[in-house]
Amino acid sequence: MLLLIAMAYAPMYLSQPDVGGYGVIPGGGLADQIASFAAALLLENRAFPMFAILFGYGMVMLVNRQQAAGTAEKDARGLLRRRALWLIVFGMVHATLVFPGEILTAYGLGTLILGWLLFRADSTIKRAVALLVPFSIVMAVLGSVLMTSDEGSGFVIPGYMTMEDWIVRLVGALIGPLFSSFVFPLLILVTIGMWLGRIGLLDDLSLHRRTLRWLTVVGIAISVLGALPLALAGTGVLSSTSFALGLMLALQIITGIAGGVGYIAAFGLIGLHLEQRRRTGILTRALVAAGRRSLTIYLMVSAGVAIVLHPDLLGLGEYMHRAGAMGVAVVVWTASVAFALWLDTTGKRGPADALLRRLVYR
C-alpha cells in the first residue's frame, strides 16, 4: 500500500513544468501521458484516503487492546495523546528534512482532534461521520477552486542550499498539516476508519467477505467515475476554465473517500485469499514484514525517493518525466520491502517503529 503513496507523490520532485497529474496536460512521451492519466484516475487522492482510514482503524485496535488489558480510560487517553504528540514531532522532522507534504503530523493532529470519539458509543462515531460530510465537501470545493485559480500556486518542494529554502521548509512543516487536515478530508477519513474498526471489518475477513466485495466494487466504481472528469481534462479531451477544473478536483477529492474504502476492501480480499493458501511465499512474507514496520518503511521510501530525484541531491529528477519518477518509487519501495524482510528474518523491529513505541509506552 505504501507503494501507491510513493507513486503518487514522486513526480512532485521533477524539474519539468509539464509533469501532468491533477488535470494538468502532461508533456513527455506516451508512457508519461498514460502514467499521468492513470495517476489522476487511480492514485491521486486515493492512496492518502486509504491510509487515513487505516490509521483510524488502527486507533480503535490500540484502544481495544488497552481496554482488554484493563487499562483505565484516563491512562488510555494519555497514551493516545503521547502517540499523537510524538507523531507530530516525527512528522515535523520528516517534513523539514525530506517531504513537506508528509502525513504523520496530520495524523497526530487528527488524533488530538478526534481521539475522544474512541471512548464514545458507536452511534456517536456515526453522527460524527454524518456531521463531517458537509464540512468535508465545502472545504474540498473551496480549497480546490483556490488551488486551481489564477492566483493559486502549485506545490513546490523547496531545496536545501539556501537559508530561504530552510525557512520555506519550516513554514511548510507548520502549514502542511493544517492543509491536509481541513482542505483534504482527513478528519472524516479517520472517523470512517474508527467506524469500520468498531464493526471489525478487517478483524475477521472471512466473516465480512460479502461486505468486502460490495465495498470493493461500489467504492472503486464511485472513485473512478468521480476522478474521470479530472483525468480527461488532463488529456485535453475536456477543456475547462480554472473554476471548472477546481470543481473537477473537488469531485476527485470527495469521491476519493469512497476510493479509500474500496481499496481497503480490495486489499482485505487479497489478504483473505493469501490466508487461505497453504503455502506462504517470500513475497507475502516480505509484504507482511513491511506492514509490521510501516513507519520505518514509509520514512525509508520517502527519503529514498527524495535522495534519488531531488535536484539538490542526486538530481535524477532533472532527467526524467512522470513515468520515470513513478518507476523510481517502485524501485525504492522494493528495496525498502527487502530491508523489512531482512529485519523480520533477523527478528528485529523497524527502527522508527521501535523508537516511537519506546517514546509512547514509557
Q: Domain segments of the chain: what residues?
A: 28-274, 277-362
The answer to whether 206 and 137 have CB atoms below 8 angstroms apart is: no
Q: From 28, 77, 90, select the one nearest 355 (Cα to Cα).
A: 90
Q: For residue 194, what pLDDT is reported? A: 97
Is residue 327 predicted with pLDDT exceeding 70? yes
Kindly report, residue by residue over 27-77, the tens digit of the pLDDT: 888 999 999 999 999 999 998 999 999 999 999 999 999 999 999 999 999
Task: Say whether pLDDT at 269 is over 70.
Answer: yes
Distance between CA atoms of 305 and 296, rounded to whole angstroms? 14
pLDDT at position 362: 78
The C-alpha angle with vertex 352 and arms to 347 and 355, in degrees rounded to 5, equals 90
**How large is the average pLDDT for residues 154-176?**
89
- Packing angle of the helix pair 322-345, 2-9 (nearest 10 deg): 150
Tell me: pLDDT of 322 over 80.
Answer: yes
For the entire predicted model, the pTM comes to: 0.93
Confidence of residue 101 (pLDDT cuts 50, 70, 90): confident
What share of the chain in percent tops pLDDT 90? 75
- Cell digits for 75? 491512562
pLDDT tens, residue by residue, 184-220: 899 999 999 999 999 999 999 999 999 999 999 999 9
Summarised one tens digit per residue, pLDDT across range 3-26 is 999 999 999 999 887 787 777 888
Cα(3)–Cα(349) distance, integer angstroms: 20
- Length of the chain equals 362
3-state DSSP helix/strand/coil % of the chain, to nearest 5: 75, 0, 25
State the cell numbers at 290: 513491511
Of residues 147 and 292, more confidence is placed in 292
